[in-house]
Structure 1
Amino acid sequence: MPQPFVRTVPMREIPAWAVLERRLFDEIEVAWRRFAELYCEPDGRIRYTGGFPDRDGVDDFYEPFFNWPTFHALGGSDEILDAAKHHWEGVTRQLTEAGMLTDEYENGYDWFHQGESLIFFYALCAADPGDERFAERARRFAALYTDPARGNYDPARNMITAPHTGALGPLEGTGPQWQAYRAEQREMRAYGLPLEHLPGIERWEDLEDPANADAMGQAMQRLAAGDVAVNLAATSLVANRWLYDGDPASRDWILRYVDGWRERAAANGGMIPDNVAPDGTVGGLHDGRWYGGHYGWTWPHGLPSVGMGALIGGINAAFVGGDDAALDLTRVMLDTVLDHAITASVEETPMSLRGGWLSRLGADASKPALLVPHRFGRHGWFDYGPMPLDLPTWLWWTSREPGDWDRLRRVMAGYPEASVDVKPFRDKAEAGHELPWLAFLAGENPDYPARALSMALGQVARRMALMETEHPDPATVHIHFWQRVNPVVTEILGQLITGTPQVLYNGGLPFQALAYEDADRGRPGLPRDVAALVSRLDGDRIDLTLVNLAPTATRRVVVRASRFGEQDLAEATSFGEEGGEYPGSSVWYTSRPGEPVAETVAVDAPELVVELPPSHRADLVLTTVASRREPRHRRGTALPAATHESKEHSHV
């Protein structure tokens, strides 16, 4: 079937954002190699000789590489994908030797942290689904939850059986580090009491009594049983397996498990509870209370953790089942906390996550803002702070519904920082720049691409400087160190190239609104010299600009409507010129532009090939439609060489 005709225009001016985008690719290629040289052994493991005193730590060894496969999928080198696989294998051996993994999977921990480590694995599977080693792992890992014989899932009660689950099945309690929960754990004080209803323990200071510390620790061990809301992130493990072959049992497990939580929420007035006793009753271990479970509404984070689990579960159910109704789990909780919002400054509000917000906001922390309660306990809603913007952003991005956009705009309007500011910060999730990006998509922040790419280049430079100045001792290095210096930055590239927010860090799948392939090399991502910019996402409309910076080489780009094939391209409008002359005569001061023209063509296919002559651009308006095929992991193949006719058609 012949490809639809796509118009291009010569670039009489080279856009700054395109130059910066390609420069960022180049800088990252240098930086990741230096990271591996400084901090990794030849077999791929991290240089660390310290111990693992408790269940925590597995995620911290995978997280430094979480976005390396993502960079490859955007257009980074084949070498970084090979390196990412190499480091996954090396870290897996390292953690297995340390007794933290069994059969390559975590022995057992909460899904807030499991999700953090598994986003690296999901990205590897998506980047190269033809690698049977990772396909086999995807099937084996998912079976830990879909196979009742493994003990992690109770089909009779439709529940995951404990807050800490994994390769060894459900684990008891919260681990040895909290056999007693002592007041001297200063880093935990900001989160308050893990359990609020123990006799004689009303304040943090009460934990200074050793008897109270023992009582709290033992209660935490005893009550860390049954299902909890953050376990919804386990649906990504099963959805990742489903993407290989559409396994019906995997799809059914996701839908059934998410539906179980939807039923519990419906029985609770629409608000998702955070705990289910081993007998299947909500609040069965908490005297009937719907709140108070492990990593739930009361402790330690509330909205960021419960919201992340509910949103991931809802997105995955919508993804495999084709029905967005499961997103109501997130809609209700966001609307509920918004209904209880206050106006105050972050600086004057004693929120548990205050330190991170103060560092991020700077002087804006003193400005009035819309603060929502993050947690719910015995006295109602508490712990007020800005709403984590990733939650309403991903909700709208998934649904593209006007109501979800309206809610998102309300949250954006309540932020203390200006929507056009691009603050020079980066945390381990490499997120937090949603506000200016969304304003750009709304047509209100036209300078965002160049400013954001400049910021991202600055972050690479800072990480490189840190790597050259900090040389930690492998015996005493903090296990978060490598996350703090990981120089691969993909948040801004993902936003601008694919039109997608940064991945949900506690276990989201690596979705993309647009995906690309190098048509001539048969590999994912943009071809060399090519830059891309998504400037609008509005329902089924996506505005895209492609730029070929190569002065002598033609590049062919495959543009796909979604990464996994859940969307197709219905039609494409391209913009060009007629009657102009390019390059024209050498005696002219400039070439003569023609009259602008637009042409709309039917595509009716998953993808479109755009041929870009040297120093040309293509401006496209794409219309998407739900695919009739089930989503799948897929990797591109090289297309036949371009014909002379196709080269001529691509010129003005």
Structure 2
Amino acid sequence: MFTVPASPTILVDAPAPIPAWALAERAVIAANAEGVQAFLAAFVDGRGYTRGLEHYGITDGADDAVEPIRNWPIAHALGGDDAIIEAWSTVWENHLDQYSRAWVPEVASVSEGIYYREFMPQFDWEHISEGMAGFYFYGLSRPDDPRYAIRLRRFAGLYMNEDSTAPNYDDQHHIIRSLFNGSRGPRMTPPNATDWDGPEIPGGAPGRRTRFLNSGNIVGDHPLNLNSTNLAFHAYLVTGDEKYRDWVLEYVDAWKERIDQNGGNIPSNIGLDGKIGGEWGGKWYGGVFGWNSPDEGVRNYVFRGPPEAFGDALLLTGDQSYTGVLRRQLDNLYAEQRVVDGHVEIPHYYGDQGWYGYVDVNGRSPGLGNRRRGETDIYIWGLQDHDLARLPKTGWIGYLEGDQPDYPLTALQEALEEVREAGQRIHDDDTTLQYPTGITRWERSNPVATEALVNLTLGGADPGGSGHGPLPLHTQVRHFDPVARRAGLPPDVAALVEKIEANSVVLTLVNTSPLTTRTVTVQLGAYGEHQCNSIRTRAGATPCNGRAFTVRLTPGSSETLTIGLERYAYRPTLDFPWDQGAPEPM
């Protein structure tokens, strides 16, 4: 017996032919579990260590060792087998041990371990973030793991002046004091190429290290550091301790104010005095990884940090002005657009000469390379026509707009092919081959596909984790299994978010089993941040007042529900619906 965790409960007893997309969805969920086992067999040894030499640096550092498996916890939280989250946890725990034991004498900050106290000692948040993605997502399935809360408190404390040996944060000027920061505090001296990328590797890419010759001025704050808010954000989700919420808003609000002062353009350097461009001659566009980065002038990473931080603040407050900060930056770029051969181009860089580096709005660039993802995020957060107008009406967005009815099946078939191709790369991998350039063999061999599942089952954009994030989940719904008392769709159940509007979501649920009744709990929002007001089915309307409701589906049954909701009504939490108690208003 089990206790139904949410009210109301809706009974669906309407057998119908099982749609192809529902069967494909369950096939992807099952294939992900098989893919994990294939990856483990090929790339993880008996100690739980990833096979191969441990490296430090941008080319192939500690983050790259676990970046390829960053979405495994998401695969479990979507409904994948428990073996997925157990495998990720095993690899993560041993990864921390493996890289804590790996010393690089040539680099002072990691001469006693690439990890120090289980965290990067001094590095940039472009790469710290990539390595942390799976850790954040782990909380979706295991929010009550005591190790998770302990680490979140300790890691967040590195940026809240709770660790006297790591004074990363200046609480007077509300800045993080260097582009290089971590468990050993901020680096306040110029790094050289070895500090950036580790010792030179024989046979490595020729000329690669020259990109760091002009990248020594790392003092002061940078948009990348806004990624650090994910630590305190997740600490708040797990503990409910107000100090974490307060710190996120303090730091984000300081950036929000500076961006407003700068005409809506995100500064790429804040001086130690708290002034825009303070370490770069007053130039708001100066700085490593800035609008005209001295690192070959192409790596403009100012959109890698603000989406994460302003998204955190939105989830913590429901205040859409945080979305507006990112929207205004995009407005500034589009205000400079030009049309070339019928194609709209916008700039991705800014220097002494003004805006430059024009790129087709549908093209790619090393600068602002995640712009399209950011535009999708902003639309999903605010659901404004102004933001929708920028997006191509193809793929997932086209489907939500009613233009591509076959998209769910197509996307899920492509996800299965993604798993198959990665599995083939694993099968073909030559385990005896040496890689003198240091690139991990498994970088493109992750046989777990989750983007289509996040889009279709949750109604959210992919939270990323490589070059864009990881963002917290911004979704319409999240599913739980009240029988197994776990996160994710129950066995046999398929879900499809068909339409998203300001005050409603259309969700179809299908029980693909011909023999077994299944029960699913539907939560509004990834963290229970939305309020359910009503549920309309073919049988009529059912009132609802809270974060979640439950649906019982008899064998072969399906139902399309139109869920009325109020967005960002409640404080977010990682607690499962049956553990939440009364929701706390924003």
Under a length normalisation based on structure 1, what TM-score does the superposition of the two structures give?
0.78
Partner of 1:551: 514
Q: Is 1:376 aligned to residue 350 of structure 2? A: yes
* Structure 1 letter corresponding to 2:372: L
Partner of 1:202: none
Matched-pair contact (CA < 8 Å) for 1:164–1:174:
no
- Using the TM superposition, give the Cα deviation of residue 238 of structure 1 relative to its aligned residue in structure 2, in angstroms: 1.0
1:451 & 1:14 partners in 2: Cα distance?
16
2:57 & 2:547 partners in 1: Cα distance?
50
Partner of 2:528: 565
SS at match of 1:291: coil
Partner of 1:443: 402
Matched-pair contact (CA < 8 Å) for 2:33–2:83:
no
Correspondent of 1:398 among 377, 381, 393:
381
* Structure 2 letter corresponding to 1:220: S
Partner of 1:76: 80
SS at match of 2:140: helix
**Residue correspondence of structure 1 range 237-252 to structure 2 within 5 A:** 237-252=231-246
Partner of 1:64: 68
- Using the TM superposition, give the Cα deviation of residue 70 of structure 1 relative to its aligned residue in structure 2, in angstroms: 0.4
Correspondent of 1:318 among 311, 314, 317:
314
Q: Is 1:485 aligned to residue 445 of structure 2? A: yes
SS at match of 1:389: helix
244 and 380 in structure 1: CA distance in 2 versus 1, 3 angstrom threshold: same
Partner of 1:599: 540
Moved more, 610-619 or 21-30: 21-30
1:337 & 1:54 partners in 2: Cα distance?
29
Partner of 1:520: 483
Q: Is 1:533 aligned to residue 500 of structure 2? A: no
Q: Which has the higher helix share?
A: 1
Partner of 2:265: 271
- Using the TM superposition, give the Cα deviation of residue 540 of structure 1 relative to its aligned residue in structure 2, in angstroms: 2.2
Matched-pair contact (CA < 8 Å) for 2:511–2:518:
yes
- Using the TM superposition, give the Cα deviation of residue 399 of structure 1 relative to its aligned residue in structure 2, in angstroms: 2.1
Matched-pair contact (CA < 8 Å) for 2:155–2:231:
yes
SS at match of 1:275: coil
2:9 & 2:550 partners in 1: Cα distance?
9
55 and 135 in structure 1: CA distance in 2 versus 1, 3 angstrom threshold: farther
Moved more, 615-624 or 47-56: 47-56
SS at match of 1:556: strand
- Using the TM superposition, give the Cα deviation of residue 539 of structure 1 relative to its aligned residue in structure 2, in angstroms: 0.8
Deviations 1:469-508 (A, max 9, x none): 1224475274343231101110001100000110042231
* Structure 1 letter corresponding to 2:125: W
172 and 615 in structure 1: CA distance in 2 versus 1, 3 angstrom threshold: same
- Using the TM superposition, give the Cα deviation of residue 305 of structure 1 relative to its aligned residue in structure 2, in angstroms: 2.5
- Using the TM superposition, give the Cα deviation of residue 146 of structure 1 relative to its aligned residue in structure 2, in angstroms: 0.9
- Using the TM superposition, give the Cα deviation of residue 188 of structure 1 relative to its aligned residue in structure 2, in angstroms: 6.1
Deviations 1:569-602 (A, max 9, x none): 1110012xxxxxxxxxxxxxxxxxxxxxx41111
Q: Is 1:497 aligned to residue 457 of structure 2? A: yes
**Residue correspondence of structure 1 range 346-385 to structure 2 within 5 A:** 369-385=343-359
Partner of 1:126: 140
Percent identity over paired residues: 30
**Residue correspondence of structure 1 range 94-243 to structure 2 within 5 A:** 94-98=98-102, 99-147=113-161, 149=164, 150-172=166-188, 175-177=191-193, 217=213, 220-221=215-216, 223-243=217-237
Partner of 2:582: none
611 and 371 in structure 1: CA distance in 2 versus 1, 3 angstrom threshold: same
179 and 382 in structure 1: CA distance in 2 versus 1, 3 angstrom threshold: farther
187 and 80 in structure 1: CA distance in 2 versus 1, 3 angstrom threshold: farther
- Using the TM superposition, give the Cα deviation of residue 512 of structure 1 relative to its aligned residue in structure 2, in angstroms: 3.0
Partner of 2:107: none
Deviations 1:273-311 (A, max 9, x none): 110122222122222111121221112687972123222
Partner of 1:457: 416
Q: Is 1:281 aligned to residue 275 of structure 2? A: yes
Matched-pair contact (CA < 8 Å) for 2:475–2:526:
yes
Q: Is 1:340 aligned to residue 303 of structure 2? A: no
1:520 & 1:34 partners in 2: Cα distance?
29
* Structure 2 letter corresponding to 1:69: P
1:331 & 1:97 partners in 2: Cα distance?
44
* Structure 1 letter corresponding to 2:186: P
* Structure 2 letter corresponding to 1:158: H
Q: Is 1:407 aligned to residue 392 of structure 2? A: no
408 and 541 in structure 1: CA distance in 2 versus 1, 3 angstrom threshold: same
Matched-pair contact (CA < 8 Å) for 1:20–1:454:
yes
Partner of 1:508: 471
1:626 & 1:459 partners in 2: Cα distance?
34
* Structure 2 letter corresponding to 1:396: Y
SS at match of 2:144: coil
Partner of 1:89: 93
Partner of 1:647: none
Matched-pair contact (CA < 8 Å) for 1:243–1:633:
yes
Deviations 1:222-281 (A, max 9, x none): x21010111111111110111112222211111111111122112212212110122222
Deviations 1:69-109 (A, max 9, x none): 10110000111111111111011111111121011111121
Matched-pair contact (CA < 8 Å) for 1:110–1:165:
yes
Deviations 1:548-585 (A, max 9, x none): 1101100001011122121121110012xxxxxxxxxx
2:563 & 2:300 partners in 1: Cα distance?
34
Larger radius of gyration: 1
Matched-pair contact (CA < 8 Å) for 2:9–2:550:
no
Partner of 2:372: 389
SS at match of 2:326: helix
* Structure 2 letter corresponding to 1:25: I
Under a length normalisation based on structure 2, what TM-score does the superposition of the two structures give?
0.87
Corresponding residue pairs, total: 543
* Structure 2 letter corresponding to 1:339: A
Q: Is 1:41 aligned to residue 45 of structure 2? A: yes
Moved more, 328-337 or 485-494: 328-337
